[in-house]
């Protein structure tokens, strides 16, 4: 490829083709060297492109009538993977005609298709879903797994730590990310056998470009005390949804408080700059773009309800990972694990 190409599932997402194409157009301003392949209904895509004439020159349309619905089970989606907009976008990554695929569609279907088509990297048992969470620290935090694996052994958690650290080095520009395991306490005896065994392995592995700082509790996730937070998928997904729900709760409470009386409305005008900062910090579109780590290729999952700014941010994540060759970084980090760490990992 003369320029990096991103494959877009134009039919995924709650807002439809118009928002997907608008997001691609917005991303082009930030990454003018990128080209795109838009998979989906050609008539709808061409109609959306009328509002973005500059995008047409760098976007190829690949028509398909098949679309993976939000209600489809992964098994259903797999049966039509070769002909759907989602499946074709992933296949482009496998074939090497695209550096990454971006979809706002069905998460379970996207994971199943991606794993079947791309397979996992050597040394990785299961891919993990990772995303950036806002914090009060100097940077966002990478959290994984967010629901791809509801039950994990110690070796899976260690692999997640290695992949999450490589991701943090890429998107957060950190030389040695601080890694912590999500647990019910910070004491060494707390948690399941799997979590304690994973911690023991990470403490004994010094060759990796990461710093293992032990355990972290759920109430500390947003305080910037870790750059990478590792969990099995059930706990990770619950923690993510709780954080998102709390953010919406806070904004709704503030909205009601500031509209409850004339004095409150005056107070809002005074505090408006701070409220805009809070809204920006909590806006999920500013952190959109979860990644399936551990695959032989880059696949980025956008929130289904993302607006054009969110879609553009997901494409930005994909572009960064292609440019920095994240898969190669993960493979190198796994190779750097000490002999003791590899032996313990194989036994867990």
In whole angstroms, what is the distance from residue 93 CA to residue 136 CA?
Answer: 36
Token pair of 128 as six digits: 């993990």
72-86, 100-114, 168-182, 291-305: the lowest-pLDDT one: 72-86
140-151: average pLDDT: 90
pTM listed for this prediction: 0.85
Enumerate residues 6+ apart whose C-beta is below 8 A from 265. Answer: 258, 259
200/162 same-domain check: yes
Could you give the C-alpha distances from 82 to 20, 62, 113, 317, in angstroms and in order? 21, 13, 9, 25
Domain termination site, one of 88, 103, 118: 118
- Asked whether residue 214 is domain-assigned, the answer is yes
Domain with 141 in it: what CATH number? 3.40.718.10
* 15 Cβ contact list (under 8 Å, min separation 6): 305, 306, 307
What is the predicted pLDDT for the residue at 274? 54
Instruction: Specify whether 337 is located in the same domain as 196.
Output: yes
Decide if pLDDT at 313 tops 70. Answer: yes
Structural domain boundaries enclosing 208? 121-292+320-348
297 located within any domain: no
Neighbours of 282 (CB within 10 A): 17
82 plus 145 within the same structural domain:
no
Whether the per-residue pLDDT at 342 is higher than 60: the answer is no
Same structural domain, 128 and 142: yes
342 and 203 co-located in one domain: yes
Beta carbons of 62 and 38 less than 8 angstroms apart: yes
Query: Looking at the structure, do residues 70 and 202 belong to the same domain, yes or no?
Result: no
pLDDT digits (tens, 9 = 90+) for 230-267: 999 999 989 888 887 877 787 777 777 767 777 666 66
Kindly state whether residue 21 falls inside one of the protein's structural domains.
yes
The per-residue pLDDT for 340 is 41
Residue 300's nearest CA partner among 317, 320, 285, 276 is: 317
How far apart are the C-alpha atoms of 250 and 185, rounded to whole Å? Answer: 26
Helix (H, G, I), strand (E, B) or coil at 130: strand
Position 27 confidence tier, pLDDT thresholds 50, 70, 90: very high
Domain C-terminal end among 62, 89, 118: 118
């Amino acid at each position: 490829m003369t320029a990096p190409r991103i494959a877009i599932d134009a039919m995924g997402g709650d807002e439809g083709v118009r928002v997907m194409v608008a997001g691609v157009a917005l991303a082009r301003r930030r990454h003018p060297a990128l080209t795109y392949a838009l998979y989906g209904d050609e008539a709808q895509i061409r109609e959306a492109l009328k509002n973005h004439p500059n995008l047409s020159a760098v976007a190829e349309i690949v028509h398909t009538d098949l679309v993976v619905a939000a209600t489809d089970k992964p098994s259903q989606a797999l049966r039509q993977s070769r002909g759907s907009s989602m499946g074709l976008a992933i296949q482009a990554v496998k074939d090497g005609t695209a550096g990454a695929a971006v979809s706002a569609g069905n998460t379970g279907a996207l994971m199943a298709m991606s794993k079947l088509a791309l397979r996992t990297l050597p040394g990785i048992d299961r891919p993990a879903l990772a995303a950036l969470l806002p914090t009060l620290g100097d940077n966002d935090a990478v959290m994984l797994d967010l629901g791809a694996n509801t039950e994990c052994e110690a070796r899976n958690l260690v692999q997640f730590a290695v992949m999450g650290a490589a991701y943090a080095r890429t998107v957060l520009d950190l030389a040695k990310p601080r890694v912590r395991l999500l647990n019910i306490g910070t004491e060494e005896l707390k948690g399941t056998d799997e979590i304690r065994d994973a911690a023991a392995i990470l403490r004994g592995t010094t060759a990796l470009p990461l710093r293992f700082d032990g355990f972290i509790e759920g109430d500390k996730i947003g305080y910037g005390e870790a750059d990478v937070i590792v969990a099995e998928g059930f706990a990770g997904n619950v923690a993510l949804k709780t954080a998102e729900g709390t953010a919406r709760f806070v904004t709704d409470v503030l909205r009601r408080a500031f509209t409850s009386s004339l004095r409150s409305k005056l107070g809002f005008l005074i505090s408006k700059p701070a409220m805009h900062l809070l809204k920006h910090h909590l806006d999920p579109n500013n952190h959109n773009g979860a990644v399936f780590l551990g695959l032989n290729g880059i696949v980025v999952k956008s929130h289904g309800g993302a607006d054009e700014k969110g879609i553009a941010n997901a494409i930005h994540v994909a572009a960064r990972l292609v440019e920095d060759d994240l898969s190669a970084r993960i493979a190198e980090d796994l190779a750097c694990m000490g002999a003791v760490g590899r032996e313990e990992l194989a036994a867990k």
